[in-house]
Every structure is written in C-alpha cells, then in structure tokens.
Chains A and B, each alone.
Chain A
Amino acid sequence: MLLDDGSRRGLLRHFADFRDRVLERIRSSNRESERGALETGKALHAVVEAARAYTHRIHALRQHADESNAQSLAAAISEQTGHVGQYSSDLGELIAAQSADARQSLERLESIALAAREIQRLVNASRMLALNAQVEAARMGEAGKAFAVVAAEMKTFAQEMARANTSISSMVNGMKLALPKMAERAGVMEERSHRFAASFEESVGRIRQLTAGMQQAIGAVIDEGGATLQAVLQHSETGLSALQFQDPQAQALLYIDRMAHDEQQHLSAVLQVHDDRLRPSAHNNLGDQGVIHSESSGEVLLF
C-alpha cells in the first residue's frame, strides 16, 4: 500500500515530535544529573578540605605528644630523682662522718676518764700527805704552825681537786652514755634516708611506666584518627573524580538525538518528502563517538 503525501508528511511530523520529546527528556535528565553532581561535588570538596585540615592538626598533635610533653616530664622526674639521690648520698656521708666523730670522741673520753682516775689517785695521795702533814705539824707544836697551814691548804686543794675530778668524771660518764645513743639515732636516720630514696625511685618508676603507657595510648588514638582521615580523604577524592563522568554521560545521552537526527534525515529521503522540522543534532561532539573513553582517562600529554 503506498502512502499519500499527507500520510508521509504526517509520519515525518510524528517522528519529529517524538524526537523533540526524547530530547526534552534527555535534557531534563541531564539537568538533574548535573545539579546532583554539582551539589555532591560541593559537599565532597568540603569533606576533603575538612579532612586535610584535621590531618594537619593531627600531625601537629602527634609531634607535640612525642616531643614536648613526655620528654619534659621525664626530664623533670630525672632531675628530681638526681636531687633525691644526691641528698641521700650527702646525708649518708654526713652521718658517717658524725659516727666517726662520735667514735673518736668516745676514745678521747676514755683518755679523759683515765686522766680523771689518775687525778683521783693523786688527790688521794695528796689527802694522805695533807693528813700526815697535819699530824707532823701537831707533833711539832709551835714550830709546826706554818707547816700546819701548808698542810691545811694542801687538804683544801685536795678536796677542791676531788670535787673538780668528780664533775669531770660525771660529765665523762654522761657523754659516754649519750654518744652511743647519738650514733644509734644517726644510723636510724641513714637507714630511713635510704628507704626514702628507694621508695621515691620506685614511685618514679611507676610514674614513668604510666606516662609511657599514656603516651602509647595517645599515640595509637592519634594514628588511628590519622588513618581514618586518610581513608576519608581518599574516598572523597575518588567520589569527586567519579562525578566527572556526569559530563560524558550527558554527552552519551545527547548522542541519541544525533542518531535520531540521522534517522529523521533517512526517513525524509525514503519518503521523498522535504522535512522542514529537521533540526541540527544537539550532540555537538566533533568525533563520532557516543561512548565514554575510559581506558586513557586522566592521562596528560604535553606537546
């Protein structure tokens, strides 16, 4: 059955209408996908910027945690430990010197006690002498009066010497009792000083352990944060890159209009009717490709 002129023109008009509707649908779809790509691009870019900023902060935090805090604390602890150790050592030396002095003093006291005993012996001898002198003086009567005075003086001297010697002996005995107690107390102080130094060092050791543990934990958290940010950064950049496919996708859809244009032209030739609705293709690619080249995408060639 042959088509009359009216039917043929009608067919061409119908095809042209169809082509326009398809193109409008494609353009609407492209507008939507472009809008979505732009919004997504903005959002992803904001994520990338934030991730980069936080990555810089994390690096700075890591450096700070590694360098300043732990080392300052360790240095302060070492300094104090050194002071305490020195103090303990100095104290030990002083106590040792004190003990040596005490022993020397004890020895000197022995010498003094010996001298006091000798003095006592001499005092006893003097008393005896004074007594004998008094007896002789009494026998001598008038002629012995002067001698009796001397004898009396000798007796007095002996008595005073005895009193002085008694004081000395008393002091010596007192010191002989006190000095060993002083040495004993000095020994206790030394022992306590050593115990304090040991306890301090133990506490310092525990603080060091805690600090090292804290530093490790902080470092692990920081490293994990850094790794997470790197992953976020990578995924965001991948997403941004993928958004670039919106344009070639849009061009690929517009290629449909190019195909429709060619068909419309062919139909006009077959029907032997001039088609005044034949408009140019909306696909303006110079190449004849309607597909996305992905094998070489991203490649840069500098001429």
Chain B
Amino acid sequence: MGKRVLVVDDSATVRQQVSLALTQVGFEVLEAVDGMDGLQRISSTPGLAAVICDINMPRLNGLEMLEKVRADAKTAGLPVLMLTTEGHPTMMERAKKAGAKGWIIKPFKADLLIAALRKLAA
C-alpha cells in the first residue's frame, strides 16, 4: 500500500475527485467532511503522510484546523496542502503563517496535485 493521505473538504465531489486522482497513482486516501472531522481523523490515524485541506468549511474551517494541527506537538510536522477556491493573497499569507506547506486553487489539475503531494510526502 502507498502513502496515506487525508483529504478534508465539505464537498463530496471534491473528495471524490482527489481520491480518484491519488488512488490511481498508489496513494491511500482517507476522507473527512469538515475541520472538526479532519482533526479527529488526524489524531486517530497513524502513518499519515500529508493532509489536503479546503478552507471554507462548516463547524471548523481549514485555517482553524491547520492552527490546531500545528499547535499539537504530535501533529505539528504533518505537511498540509490547502486546496481551495480562495485566491486572495491575504488568505494565502495567513495560511503560510499558520504553517501550510502549499496552496492549490480549485479546480485542481491531477498531475500538478500529484507532483506537489509526492514532494511534500517524500
């Protein structure tokens, strides 16, 4: 089995697209429906290589989830890639400061997503 990746997005369509793109190149993909679900998955799933996370989600948005992941010593080193419709520089800067490792604007291109993930999860 390949590297394990968590995709956090309230859109089932996006989760499906990411999962299909990554599983066909050997990644194992887990899913979470919002920031709260994402945190729970991160703490309960061993061997996660990376997280792909939307920003705009109910209950807990992606930036808030990212801040909590960085604040926990057990998960602080986990690479998080933001996958979002947001393209505003202020938002990007905020994510970068919060510890995100990358930023992809939706809709993503499968080959670019895979290349970025391979780099981060290496």
Pick from A49, A237, A287 the residue with the most CB of B within 10 Å: A287
> In the complex, are the beta carbons of B12 and A38 less than 8 A apart?
yes
A37-B13, A246-B11 as given contacts; A299 in contact with B55, CB under 8 Å: no
> In the complex, are the beta carbons of B91 and A287 less than 8 A apart?
yes
Size category, B interface: 35 or more
Tell me whether A143 is interfacial, beta carbon within 8 Å.
no
A284 and B20 alpha carbons, distance in the complex (Å): 26
Q: How far is the CB of A51 from chain B (nearest CB, A)?
A: 12
List the A side residues contacting B104 at CB < 8 Å: 298-301
Q: How far is the CB of A295 from chain B (nearest CB, A)?
A: 8
A256 and B103 alpha carbons, distance in the complex (Å): 27
List the A side residues contacting B115 at CB < 8 Å: 300
Q: Which residue of A lies closest to B97 (CB)?
A: A303
> In the complex, are the beta carbons of B13 and A296 less than 8 A apart?
no
Total count of chain A residues near the partner, CB < 8 A: 35
Q: How far is the CB of A147 from chain B (nearest CB, A)?
A: 127
Q: Which residue of A lies closest to B117 (CB)?
A: A300
A34-B11, A38-B12, A296-B87 as given contacts; A49 in contact with B24, CB under 8 Å: yes
List the B side residues contacting A12 at CB < 8 Å: none
List the A side residues contacting B45 at CB < 8 Å: none
Q: Mark A238-262, 1 if CB is under 8 A from B, else 0.
A: 0011111111101100000000000
Q: Mark B85-107, 1 if CB is under 8 A from A, else 0.
A: 11110011000100011111111
Tell me whether B57 is interfacial, beta carbon within 8 Å.
yes
Q: Which of B38-79 contact A (CB under 8 A)?
A: 55-58, 61, 63
Q: Which residue of B lies closest to A31 (CB)?
A: B12
List the B side residues contacting A302 at CB < 8 Å: 101-102, 116, 119-120
List the B side residues contacting A38 at CB < 8 Å: 12-13, 16
> In the complex, are the beta carbons of B85 and A251 less than 8 A apart?
yes
> In the complex, are the beta carbons of A34 and B13 less than 8 A apart?
yes
A34-B12, A247-B11 as given contacts; A300 in contact with B17, CB under 8 Å: no
Chain B positions within 8 Å of A, measured between CB atoms, are 9, 11-14, 16-17, 20, 24, 55-58, 61, 63, 85-88, 91-92, 96, 100-110, 112-113, 115-116, 119-120
Known: A251-B85, A284-B56. 15 other contacts (CB 8 A): A37-B16, A38-B12, A42-B16, A244-B13, A247-B9, A247-B11, A247-B106, A248-B106, A285-B56, A286-B61, A289-B88, A293-B86, A300-B115, A302-B119, A302-B120
Chain A positions within 8 Å of B, measured between CB atoms, are 34, 37-38, 41-42, 45, 49, 237, 240-248, 250-251, 284-287, 289, 292-293, 295-303
